[in-house]
Amino acid sequence: MAAEQPPIALTIAGSDPSGGAGVQADLKTFSALGVYGASVITALTAQNTTGVSGVFGVPPEFIAAQFQSVTSDLAVSTIKTGMLGDASIVETVVRMLAGVPCTRVVVDPVMVATSGDVLLDPDAIQCVRADLIPRAFLITPNIPEAAKLLNAHEANSEADMRAQAVALMELGCGAVLLKGGHVAGTAAVDVLFDGKDHHVLQMPWIDTRNTHGTGCTLSAAIAANLALGLQLREAVSAGKAFVWNALKSGALRRIGHGCGPVDHLFEPRPRTLEL
């Protein structure tokens, strides 16, 4: 019997010891969607559902060593980036990605945790803007992150989101998913811009404080779906549906004393989902 090679996705991100965000959330999401997950850890954090109490950045040369070990052995289909921490780490990741030019990269430009803790040094934002984003097949900023990347006001309407998605595209990425979870309303509205058309993705709002790791989970789900062979719009739609179901299931649980995590292992969880 011939051996089966599953699709492989790689996350380059920080570690969350409480298990709700970062590399841990990414690997859970990959597994839930039937994709083999590998990881390169950029930072160790001391955090839980109430906040981040410490960050220890991994030396850039060791980040590069992890990446070389993984990519020299595993046939990685997609890569996602999460918490990168500072400019030296961003620059290292950019150099690493240049060595795998055919691999699709999903960039989640993580700047601030759900708890409000800063996860990217201000001097690294320009490096993300000028060097990392042009390497991306897709970027997935939330509204505050988009505003920082554009040096603009925060979008407060769908029209603003459409305009900012176009402006973000001009930074050189392949596509933009602007997440609208920070805009109050009765629905969670995201805007996908593929360079030609805007696609509005909408799901009913879930009233829960258990939102720890939602951004990490969404970008990981999209990366996993791309590894499974879905096209951009399908991968994003399925990723949003995965997160919505994880939020819905997670709202019924109590883990920790703060903003609890979503439920990455909700049941049933078909390999692909449609809105």
Tell me which residues are annotated as active site.
Answer: 179, 211, 213-216
Q: CA–CA separation, 116 vs 36, rounded Å? A: 31
Strands (DSSP E) found in the chain: 8-15, 36-48, 51-57, 78-81, 104-107, 138-139, 176-179, 187-193, 198-204
Other beta carbons within 10 angstroms of residue 35's beta carbon come to: 24
Distances in Å between the Cα of 118 and the Cα atoms of 52, 54, 65, 71, 124 are 9, 11, 26, 30, 12
CB 153 within 8 A of CB 147: yes
Residue carrying the six token digits 């050189």: 172
Q: CA–CA separation, 110 vs 268, rounded Å? A: 29
How remote is the C-alpha of 129 from its chain's centroid? 16
